[in-house]
């Protein structure tokens, strides 16, 4: 199953337990494929590095290198206009369209509010794990 993973879910899965960790574990076991763009990957590195300073015992860069090497990196489509109330979140929609996936996992209210846009479903991490894992 191909999914787009919002930055907050990825980072939560790296540093904490719970549904985001379960999603990363399923990806590590080959049950999921992450679809991302260079813009999303840049955000992953930036946010994880900032949080990594608080948790220096976790090798964030090695994990993100694995994500980079084992994900489908696509070129984002250009959206005709803003989709989310926070245009910064549109990159996840553009990625899902480009990667031909219909699932985004996010806890972000701006993405959750556009659930169903172009038949793309946006699931909270717990809802995703309950339904698919």
Domain count, the chain: 1
Separation of alpha carbons 81 and 109, rounded Å = 19
Q: Which positions ≥6 away from 67 have C-beta within 8 Å?
A: 10, 34, 36, 41, 44
pTM, rounded to two decimals? 0.95
Confidence of residue 51 (pLDDT cuts 50, 70, 90): confident
Closest CA to 6 of 92, 69, 98: 92
In this predicted structure, the answer to whether residue 62 has a pLDDT above a threshold of 90 is no
pLDDT, tens digit, for every residue of 3-39? 999 999 999 999 899 999 999 999 999 999 999 999 9
CATH of the domain at 50: 3.40.50.1010
Confidence of residue 54 (pLDDT cuts 50, 70, 90): confident
Output DSSP code: residue 90: H
- Mean pLDDT to the nearest integer, 105-115: 97
Confidence of residue 126 (pLDDT cuts 50, 70, 90): very high
Range of the domain at 50: 2-132
Separation of alpha carbons 26 and 28, rounded Å = 5
pLDDT, tens digit, for every residue of 76-106? 999 999 999 999 999 999 999 999 999 999 9
Q: Which residues share a beta bridge with 35?
A: 72
User: pLDDT at position 25, please?
Assistant: 97
């Amino acid at each position: 199953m191909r999914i787009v993973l919002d930055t907050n879910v990825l980072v939560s899965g790296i540093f904490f337990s719970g549904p985001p960790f379960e999603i990363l574990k399923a990806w590590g076991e080959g049950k999921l494929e992450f679809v991302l763009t260079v813009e999303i990957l840049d955000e992953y590195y930036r946010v994880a590095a900032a949080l990594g300073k608080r948790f220096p015992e976790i090798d964030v860069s090695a994990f993100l290198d694995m994500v980079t090497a084992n994900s489908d990196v696509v070129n984002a489509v250009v959206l005709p206009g803003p989709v989310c109330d926070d245009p910064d979140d549109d990159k996840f929609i553009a990625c899902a369209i480009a990667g031909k996936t219909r699932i985004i996992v996010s806890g972000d209210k701006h993405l959750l509010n556009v659930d169903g846009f172009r038949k793309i479903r946006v699931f909270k991490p717990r809802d995703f794990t309950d339904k698919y894992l």
